[in-house]
Amino acid sequence: MSGHWTKHDMDFLGGRRQRRTRQFAWSRDLVRETVLTPADLIWPLFIIDGHNERTTIKTMPGVERLSVDLAVEAARAAAAEGIPALALFPNTPDHLRSEDGQEAYNPENLMCRALSAIKQAVPGIGLIADVALDEYSSDGQDGLVRDGLILNDETIEVMIRSALVQTRAGADIIAPSDMMDGRVGAIRAALDDEGLENTAIMSYAAKYASAFYGPFREAVGSGARLKGDKRTYQMDFGNSDEALREVAQDIDEGADMVMVKPGMPYLDIVRRVRSELNIPVFAYQVSGEYAMITLAGAAGAIDRTAAMIESLYAFKRAGASGVLTYFALETARLLNA
């Protein structure tokens, strides 16, 4: 074959030119395999005490902790853009944190007040309540600790009580994020026994012990007080078959949907869960992922907006039913423009 191509030289390709459908924006839209809409997004919000209060998070530029009244306004903004659900995370005041995490099941705690206020003001938006003790404990662990050991069954008893007060306050979905064995089944049974069988469970089924959680721990106030690490209950990042076992167990125990966390470093897990177990699977684009894109954009290393959209498409392409992302409102507004 000569060094100059002609249309006849394409005969060996059977006349196929893959670039034809890429020529124009409209043709690319026609054949796009993956679509991202505001309905694919869940917006995590950090809640603080006070009124008309907002505080910055140093490691998450553009994300703020909001008092309950401002969280209500954020919920209205989300609903107006077609975002279907919010995920709430409280930054519990220091004086209410304790070794036994009892503030987790106080029906007047910060989480419950936020759930109630948002549900009353914006009844059409879904509310996902995180269930774990790191937001209430004095040691930053997701479970109760005795002699340096994380107690599995005792932690579950506290989580059941927490899930019940959250549901009564307005949570539509309970999201246990602690990775204790058996907690999904125990919470499901407790909800059903209390006549709360319509409350769904989104299990953090494959939650890895990850370096990408750092900014989140600052946001909820658990990072500085964390003693030790979480490797005895969060997953080893070298494993994927184990993730499938965790997910399968949570499904058997009554989870309605599952989550993979972190997101982009674990797209292979998202794909395997969707392909092999065929259950609604969500990915959490965690604080470290948000920080990387935002800080790289601020440094001029990447186009922040383009990277934001590309990253969210990656989750959908991998098979995620939806994405928890701090970019949710910004993305929804961009998609709706």
Which residues have C-beta within 8 Å of that of residue 278, sequence separation ≥ 6?
Answer: none
**Cβ-defined contacts of 48-57 (< 8 Å, 24+):** 48/90, 48/91, 48/110, 49/93, 49/110, 57/215, 57/218, 57/219
Note whether 277 and 248 are within 8 A (CB): yes
- Asked about 227 being catalytic, the answer comes back as no
Note whether 133 and 146 are within 8 A (CB): no
Structure tokens at 72: 């209500």
Note whether 185 and 254 are within 8 A (CB): yes
Note whether 186 and 158 are within 8 A (CB): no
Burial class (CB in 10 A: 0-12, 13-18, 19+), 337: exposed
- Asked about 261 being catalytic, the answer comes back as yes
Options 207, 227, 230, 316, the catalytic residue = 207
Which residues have C-beta within 8 Å of that of residue 5, sequence separation ≥ 6?
Answer: none
Note whether 237 and 297 are within 8 A (CB): no
Q: Find the angle CA(66)-CA(310)-CA(314) to the nearest 5 degrees.
A: 95
Options 119, 230, 261, 316, the catalytic residue = 261
Report, as residue numbers or ranges, the catalytic residues. 207, 261
